[in-house]
Amino acid sequence: MTARTPARKLRLNAFLMGVGHHEAAWRHPRTEPARVTDVRHYQHLARTAERGKLDSVFLADGLALHGNVRHNALAGLEPLTLLSALAAVTERIGLIATASTTYNEPFHLARAFASLDHISGGRAGWNIVTSAGEAEAHNFGRERPAHADRYARAAEFVEVATALWDSWEDDAILADRRAGEYADTGKIHALDHAGAHFRVRGPLTTSRPPQGHPVLVQAGSSEDGKEFAARFAEAVFTAQQTLAEGRAFYADIKGRLARYGRHADELLVLPGISPIIGSTEREALRLEKELEDLIVPAYGVQQLSNLLGVDLTGHPLDAPLPDVPQATEGQQSRLKLVTDLARRERLTLRELIGRLAGGRGHRVVTGTPEQIADRIEEWFTGGAADGFNVMPPLLPSGLEDFVDHVVPVLQARGLFRTEYEGRTLRENYGLVRPASRHARRTAAAS
């Protein structure tokens, strides 16, 4: 027998979105649309994901009513309050919330994530977004910010937030009752940060989070977004349609880490996958067809119009997608993905809408549990993924099917854990707990 290195394991995140990722999910008989604002629905989802030993659950967010609520069940809850209610009914699973750096203050957000990390015993993660949309700007008395400005603000925001998390050293609390000394104030530090976007004195009002810093996640795929990820992110959610694209993105982002003094293991690449699962391939295809038949074309046209910045209302559904302006680097990378897809496969407007309805540009994989597992294994072993952002088309049923039928296949193949490695999200993601910058300074000086 030869010595074996521990097998590399998949990381799996469950992306929770209302009653499912398919835009017609709310019309399908296996969902209950009233549950989009029902905390018990999300608690059931989090518990189901934890039963499957998934690493984390994730909530997206937007600060305006995107899309057309006339035809989709968009009436969700605020992610941080919701995750806190999920923390209360789970023990091990990570809890990742989206929050914007463009319309928040670092003190508020650092404090809320520190609280979530305390409340969950070290299971918080922050998906950092920069809020591109005009509708969001108008809810905060602002105009749409320039792309580069958003990322400059985001970088300074993250620097301030991490400094606030470090503002209490891990051993700042003495709780010495006899001497009447609760904290060693020499280990609680002001920041006196004064930058281009923020002036923050600090310290935080909350002691250092259990994970040191909640896990930093990012999902932008523009040039600025990838550079931001390489500098700060510990996990990246990304939409990649083909294995070749997935490999190219993976190599690209991992290749950027060295210039920030980081190792490839310090960032997990998690492409999105929307698995349409059947006990037979035929059953899976039937479910896919059922969902396709429930699409409201007017909704798809509006979503696509918003994304492309071109009003497609009245354009014939069975004609090819008309020419739209080329995506520039500063624009949303999702726009490029969509126009590339339409051109490559010469899709009609209706076909394109159908392709996007499943995962908004994320990869949809339809088949048996074994077939889904094959596609996961192919990307994982083929240099395109460290794991996946799982986007079930229907919730809860799609997540239950994934946990009950796909996870056991992945476990049998030795690709996925059968028990949690640790108690914190960092431990399960295999990420190091960052030392406080003040502790590092002390260590360096001694």
**Binding residues among 171-210 for a second copy as defined by CB under 8 A:** 173, 175, 177, 180-185, 188, 198-207
Our finding on whether 116 is near a second copy (CB under 8 A) is: yes
Our finding on whether 243 is near a second copy (CB under 8 A) is: no
What DSSP string describes 340-404? Answer: HHHHHTT-BHHHHHHHHHTTTTSEEEEE-HHHHHHHHHHHHHTTS-SEEEE--SSTTHHHHHIII
Number of H helices, E strands in the chain: 16, 13
Given 15, 26, 228, 416, the residue binding a second copy (CB under 8 A): 26
Per DSSP bridges, beta strands 181-183 and 173-176 are: antiparallel
Our finding on whether 64 is near a second copy (CB under 8 A) is: yes
Given 8, 91, 139, 280, the residue binding a second copy (CB under 8 A): 139
Task: Work out how close the CB of 215 gets to a second copy at its nearest, in angstroms, rounded to a whole number.
Answer: 17
Task: Work out how close the CB of 217 gets to a second copy at its nearest, in angstroms, rounded to a whole number.
Answer: 18
Task: Work out how close the CB of 169 gets to a second copy at its nearest, in angstroms, rounded to a whole number.
Answer: 12
Backbone φ and ψ of 225, nearest 5°:
-65, -45
Q: Which two tokens stand for residue 68?
A: 């057309």
Our finding on whether 165 is near a second copy (CB under 8 A) is: no
Query: Looking at 5-13, 70-78, 346-354, 374-382, which segment touches a second copy (CB under 8 A)?
Result: 70-78
Tell how far CA 290 is from the center of its chain: 27
Beta carbons within 8 Å of 67's beta carbon, 6+ residues apart: 74, 299, 302, 303, 306
Our finding on whether 305 is near a second copy (CB under 8 A) is: no
Please give the sequence-ordered ranges of beta strands (E in DSSP) within 101-145, or none if there are none: 124-129
Q: Which two tokens stand for residue 439?
A: 């502790």
Given 80, 96, 239, 391, the residue binding a second copy (CB under 8 A): 80
- Return the residues of window 361-380 that contact a second copy according to CB under 8 A: none
425, 211 Cβ separation under 8 angstroms: yes
Task: Work out how close the CB of 173 gets to a second copy at its nearest, in angstroms, rounded to a whole number.
Answer: 7
Our finding on whether 289 is near a second copy (CB under 8 A) is: no
Our finding on whether 102 is near a second copy (CB under 8 A) is: no
Our finding on whether 78 is near a second copy (CB under 8 A) is: yes
Task: Work out how close the CB of 142 gets to a second copy at its nearest, in angstroms, rounded to a whole number.
Answer: 8
Our finding on whether 37 is near a second copy (CB under 8 A) is: yes
Our finding on whether 46 is near a second copy (CB under 8 A) is: no
Our finding on whether 76 is near a second copy (CB under 8 A) is: yes
Our finding on whether 21 is near a second copy (CB under 8 A) is: no
Our finding on whether 260 is near a second copy (CB under 8 A) is: no
Given 72, 339, 371, 397, the residue binding a second copy (CB under 8 A): 72
C-beta pairs of 434-441 under 8 Å, 24+ apart in sequence: 434/162, 434/212, 434/213, 435/212, 436/166, 436/169, 436/170, 436/208, 436/212, 437/163, 437/166, 438/166, 438/169, 438/187, 438/189, 439/169, 439/170
Q: Which two tokens stand for residue 217?
A: 């996640």
